Amino acid sequence: MMSWFLFLFGTTTTSADTWQCPGHEPSVSFQRIESLESREMDRYRGYKPAWMALEGNYRSTIYNWKEEAVREAYLEDRNNYLDPYMYHERIRKLLASHGSELEVWQIASTHFGNPVYAILIGDSKQSNKPSIAHTFTIHGNELIGVNYGLDAIEYLLQADDVRQGLLEDFNLWFVPMVNPDGVWLSMRRAHASTYGKKNGRNTDGTCEPYAYEGVDISENFPSRYPSEEPVELESETIALMELFDRSNTISLLSVHTGGNGWYTPDLTRDETGVLTNLVDGFATSMTEVLGDAEVKRLRPNSNLGEVRWFFENYHFPSFIYEYPKDIAPMDHLEREQARTQTLSVMQSYWKTLQAKAFVRGMVVDQKGEAIADATLHLPQTLRKEFTWMVSETGDFALMLPSQEIIDLKVRAEGFVDAQKKVDVREGSATIRIVLQQLEN
Amino acid sequence: MKGLASGLLFLSSLIGFTSPWAVRRAKVDTEQPIEMEQSVEVIQEITIGDEPFPVEMVVTQEQELQGLVETKLPSHILSELELYADFQILEKGHRLNFEYEETVLSRITVQQNDYERLRVELLPEPTVMLDTFPLDAKSVVMTFDKKDLFAPDADLLDILDAEPGLIAVIDNQVDIVKKLSDQDTIEVLAVGRYRGDDLEYLESVLSLRINHDDTSSLTFKYQTGDGDVWYGEDLKARTYPFLMSPTDYILISSKYGVKRGHKRHKGIDFAADIGTPIYAAASGVVADAGWGTGYGLRTKIDHDHLGDFTTLYAHMSRSYVKTGDVVRQGQLIGLIGNTGRSTGPHLHFELHKGHRQIDPRGRTVRDTFKVSDIDALALESYRDNVDKIFVQATQAVVDVESLLAKRHSAL
């Protein structure tokens, strides 16, 4: 009797702070994956079977997913949309075939129990090396984003010279499917474009198996205004923030679809002009490949929170690239074009990055011990400046707008303020900053 | 070649801290020109392995830094030193210090004044740093009137740069658009950073004295747990960040919340003649400038630094800003008109928090900027202190370090 009661009404949670329905608990934990097993597909997990939303070949594939030939055939076509299980299968294959060139990290687990993978081309042990982060499919309904991310990884694995060139300066992180729950729901919903961008959180506490209102991860980043209500962060969001932090990220490219534009963060508060030069420099260098894409600054309160938050916290460039205008579904020819275009934009972005000036270094005291709470500033005028933090091990990496001699100001509590002239006319420099303790 | 070698040896001996070999050779060479020896004076030295090494020396005659240190530094550090142009030529009185770790030279510092010091760290990897010490904090007093507030000159712009909310602070005391008269003055006490007697830049504003209608009142900034907060002479916080009157109105023809048919009025109507200037209620970025249904010619300004606030100015006859412009508080943004759904010339002014209109003069907005109570006695004593220093600073430039220190210790 009791079980019937539960079946009819579900288990309800009334408290607003326990949105999570019984079952899987989302979590954030970084662990490197050495090898992956195939996942067994649970094709009924958390969705309302709106069959009309499913593509014919996808529908037949999931029904015959256990057959290897079916799996192979579906994954072989790079224009096919991928759900989290299929994506997992692609990652598994990449790891098996290119395990020496890439690292796969699980950075979070979602409400539906889907893993969020971050793929590193580079070496995670080189922790002081700056990273370039790429995120895709933050909005679950932008299905083609997963393909963009995997395309970029596969391209770099093939193009040895491009990869080696980039690896000299950076580690490259990719999160091809930030929002697996959203993708899963989107592939099953008749109105994917309306609801599907959000993740799998049940926000009304009813825990009905198909009524996942979800949270838009892109809008889930911490608020910039102290006067606003604090945002309850999702595991996907926390994992991204943690990834940027750990990997010493100095540029973020977030790829969306549903528009045709290259969007840069709001720069009205950059009175120094340093970051404006840096950020605008990208669009200028990439004019050719961006074609008729709209180049635009995001509004200060833009809901594309990942680039806003990243930019405001780290003061490094972050960009949105959106292409094409259709979200989903597109026909295969359109998908092919979109993939080609997006890959060429990414290639151009990497080239532009390599042409920038970089400073890497360490801040230590006179005994040679790292100063973890030091801040770096690029003074343009006497008062207006941006601040960068050094890492816990005293390391830092900065991207600069132009190749010239710059004055880098360094501050740390208990030490005399110092300045250092850094010569980046050659493109990059490695420096050692030694601060002197304040004498009382 | 021989001459060059002996010249280098001489230089080494002059500084006396190169290899003992060089020092010994130089000692026996007595035929060197005497005037060069006078270019530095060794004040203090130590003995390492029977040889004297300088610890401190003073330049007695103008000369190049490179000449003094080139034998001691690797070539890449010498070229890095060249980047510090101000330190290339040393003048009389400049000091050099040398530090040793056991028998090895570990650090050279060059000091020209109290504010900068060039430092070459030699161990374990050589690097060059420029230590900077704070400039002196001294008072700056400036006086402005109403006209200046709406058309700021370079001095006032500097002050507004240092204290972007200053106009709102004045407006909290006296409504600057509606009540401040042309004869009223505002004195500003600011912290200037001085290099000796020269003012380098304005750092922050400490206090204001508003002379309005034969009365003079002090307003001052005080550091609290909520950050810097402005207080009036009555020790009440002055935190409302918007102008009370964004235009010089004749009357308020409709308040916020007044019933109009089945709807309520979601703004304040300031009635005034066509062509009366409209000022930005707070600094921000123009989010939208153009025509809106019913609103006529209207401008929307985002005030992100205050939180999720936006102001809207409607029925204008002229607009002087465009979308994306950054505007200052009190900046002229347009003129009163009668455009859109309007029955007479007026400014329809709205304040939005998020996507909802709120009463610009209501409780919600005031509560947002409310600050917690603080120790009234400490605040009072700080006020009296500021008052005293303000009076002194009006006569002459005074040291404000003590005031700043007190402000910090009050936390």
Q: Above pLDDT 90, what percent of chain A?
A: 45
**Angle, CA of B290, B296 and B299, to the nearest 5°:** 40
Which residue in B269, B139, B121, B126 sits closest to B203, CA to CA? B139
- Structure confidence at residue A129 (pLDDT): 84
Residue A383 has pLDDT above 60, yes or no: no
Q: Above pLDDT 70, what percent of chain B?
A: 89
Q: Span B198-219, mean pLDDT?
A: 91
Residue B35 φ then ψ, to 5°: -60, -30
* Separation CA A59–CA A8 (nearest Å): 29
* Separation CA B18–CA A104 (nearest Å): 55
Domain contains A8: no
- Please provide the average confidence, as pLDDT, over all residues in chain A: 84
A354, A373, A388: which is the final residue of a domain? Answer: A354
Q: Above pLDDT 90, what percent of chain B?
A: 49
DSSP A24: P
Which positions in chain B have a beta carbon within 8 angstroms of at least one beta carbon in chain A?
80, 83-84, 107, 119, 121, 124-125, 127-134, 161-162, 193, 200-201, 203, 285, 287, 302, 304-308, 326, 368
Residue A52 has pLDDT above 50, yes or no: no
Domain that holds residue A310: 27-354
Residue A437 has pLDDT above 80, yes or no: yes
Side chain identity, residue B168: A
- Structure confidence at residue B28 (pLDDT): 32
Is residue A114 located within the same domain as residue A188? yes
Residue B34 has pLDDT above 50, yes or no: no
Q: Tell how many helices (H) and how many strands (E) occur in chain A.
A: 13, 16
Domain contains A440: no
Is residue A232 located within the same domain as residue A375? no
| pLDDT bucket at A3, cuts 50 / 70 / 90 | very low
Query: What would the pLDDT profile of B302-335 be if each residue is shown by its tens digit?
Result: 888 888 899 999 999 999 998 878 899 999 999 9
Better-predicted residue by pLDDT, B255 or B409: B255
Q: Which of A225, A228, A433 sits opposite B129 (nearest CB)?
A: A433
- Structure confidence at residue A157 (pLDDT): 96
Q: What pairing do the DSSP bridges indicate for beta strands B259-260 and B263-264?
A: antiparallel
Which residue in B242, B222, B254, B221 sits closest to B284, CA to CA? B242
**Residue A368 sits at the chain B interface (C-beta within 8 Å):** yes
- Structure confidence at residue A206 (pLDDT): 65
Domain contains A15: no
Residue B24 has pLDDT above 90, yes or no: no
Better-predicted residue by pLDDT, B14 or A339: A339
* Separation CA B93–CA B40 (nearest Å): 9
Better-predicted residue by pLDDT, A121 or A383: A121
Those residues whose C-beta lies under 8 Å from the C-beta of residue B200, and which sit 6 or more positions away, are: A382, B135, B192, B193, B194
Is residue A249 located within the same domain as residue A119? yes
Residue A5 has pLDDT above 70, yes or no: no
Q: What pairing do the DSSP bridges indicate for beta strands A318-322 and A249-256?
A: parallel
Sort out which chain B residues have CB atoms less than 8 A from A299's CB and list them: 287, 302
Domain contains A21: no
Side chain identity, residue A106: Q
- Structure confidence at residue A391 (pLDDT): 80
Query: What would the pLDDT profile of B109-138 be if each residue is shown by its tens digit?
Result: 999 999 999 999 998 889 999 999 989 999
Q: What residue in B sits closest to A416 (Cα-Cα)?
A: B131
Fold matches, B2-132 and B251-368: no
The dihedral region occupied by A210, where left means phi > 0, alpha psi between -120 and 50, and beta the remainder, is: alpha
Say whether B128 and A419 touch across the interface (CB within 8 A). no
Dihedral over alpha carbons A148, A154, A160, A165 (to 10 degrees): 30
Residue B183 φ then ψ, to 5°: -80, -20
For residue A410, the domain's CATH number is: 2.60.40.1120
- Structure confidence at residue A48 (pLDDT): 53
Which residue in B142, B276, B252 sits closest to B199, CA to CA? B142
Q: Span B231-237, mean pLDDT?
A: 92
For residue A108, the domain's CATH number is: 3.40.630.10
Q: Under CATH, domain B251-368 is a member of which superfamily?
A: Glucose Permease (Domain IIA) (2.70.70.10)
Is residue A350 located within the same domain as residue A361? no
| From A48-62, A287-301, B220-234, B317-331, the region with the lowest mean pLDDT | A48-62
Shortest alpha-carbon distance between residue A183 and chain B (Å): 30
CATH number for the domain running over B146-239+376-409: 3.10.450
Query: What would the pLDDT profile of A400-418 be if each residue is shown by its tens digit?
Result: 877 788 889 999 999 999 9
Query: What would the pLDDT profile of B172-200 be if each residue is shown by its tens digit?
Result: 999 999 899 999 999 999 999 999 899 98
* Separation CA A382–CA B148 (nearest Å): 24
Q: Span B279-296, mean pLDDT?
A: 90
Is residue A336 located within the same domain as residue A381? no
- Structure confidence at residue B31 (pLDDT): 38
Those residues whose C-beta lies under 8 Å from the C-beta of residue B52, and which sit 6 or more positions away, are: B16, B45, B46
Distance of CA B382 to the CA centre of its chain: 22
C-alpha distances in Å from residue B243, one per residue of A128, B69, B275: 49, 61, 19
Is residue A174 located within the same domain as residue A313? yes
Residue A322 has pLDDT above 80, yes or no: yes
Q: What residue in B sits closest to A381 (Cα-Cα)?
A: B201
- Structure confidence at residue A358 (pLDDT): 85
* Separation CA B190–CA B200 (nearest Å): 13
Cis-peptide into B164, omega within 30 deg? no
Is residue A314 located within the same domain as residue A405? no
* Separation CA B131–CA B128 (nearest Å): 10
* Separation CA B75–CA B129 (nearest Å): 16
Say whether A227 and B127 touch across the interface (CB within 8 A). no
Residue B167 has pLDDT above 90, yes or no: yes
Is residue A374 located within the same domain as residue A338? no
Say whether A418 and B134 touch across the interface (CB within 8 A). no
Q: What residue in B sits closest to A383 (Cα-Cα)?
A: B203
**Residue A301 sits at the chain B interface (C-beta within 8 Å):** yes
Residue B5 has pLDDT above 70, yes or no: no
C-alpha distances in Å from residue B20, one per residue of B8, B9, B26, B49: 14, 11, 10, 9
A338, A354, A370: which is the final residue of a domain? Answer: A354
- Structure confidence at residue B402 (pLDDT): 72
Split into its structural domains, chain A has a count of 2
Domain contains A6: no
Say whether B304 and A421 touch across the interface (CB within 8 A). no
Are the beta carbons of A396 and A375 closer than 8 angstroms?
Answer: no
- Structure confidence at residue A178 (pLDDT): 97
Q: Span A237-250, mean pLDDT?
A: 92
> B165-190 b/e with 16+ CB inside 10 Å = b?
bbbbbbbbbbebbeebeeebbbbbbb
Which residue in A110, A117, A140 sits closest to A27, CA to CA? A110
* Count of beta carbons in the 10 Å neighbourhood of residue B44: 10
* Count of beta carbons in the 10 Å neighbourhood of residue A65: 20
Better-predicted residue by pLDDT, A390 or B121: B121
Is residue A142 located within the same domain as residue A238? yes
HEC per residue, A102-123:
EEEEEEEECCCCCEEEEEEECC
- Structure confidence at residue A342 (pLDDT): 96
A354, A376, A403: which is the final residue of a domain? Answer: A354
Helix%, strand%, coil% for chain B, nearest 5 = 25, 40, 35
In this structure, chain A runs to a length of 440
| From A70-79, B38-47, B82-91, the region with the lowest mean pLDDT | B38-47
- Structure confidence at residue A230 (pLDDT): 73
Better-predicted residue by pLDDT, B91 or B71: B91
Distance of CA A260 to the CA centre of its chain: 19
Sort out which chain A residues have CB atoms less than 8 A from B133's CB and list them: 416-417
Handedness of CA A297, A302, A306, A312 (dihedral sign): positive
Sort out which chain B residues have CB atoms less than 8 A from A269's CB and list them: 305
Which of A419, A433, A438 is the mutation pick for testing B, counting most B CBs within 10 A?
A419
* Separation CA B4–CA B224 (nearest Å): 65
Is residue A296 located within the same domain as residue A419? no
Is residue A368 located within the same domain as residue A231? no
Query: What would the pLDDT profile of A167-176 be if each residue is shown by its tens digit?
Result: 988 999 999 9
Largest CA distance in chain B: 108
Where along chain B do its domains lie?
2-132, 146-239+376-409, 251-368
C-alpha distances in Å from residue A128, one per residue of A247, A353, A380, A391: 8, 18, 27, 8
Which of B87, B129, B203, B305 is the mutation pick for testing A, counting most A CBs within 10 A?
B129
The answer as to CATH 3.10.450.350 being correct for domain B2-132 is yes
Q: Span A377-393, mean pLDDT?
A: 70
- Structure confidence at residue A38 (pLDDT): 87
Q: Which of B107, B121, B201 sits opposite A383 (nearest CB)?
A: B201
| Window A:382-401, CB contacts with B under 8 Å | 382-383
| pLDDT bucket at B365, cuts 50 / 70 / 90 | confident
Q: Span B88-116, mean pLDDT?
A: 91
Is residue A317 located within the same domain as residue A373? no
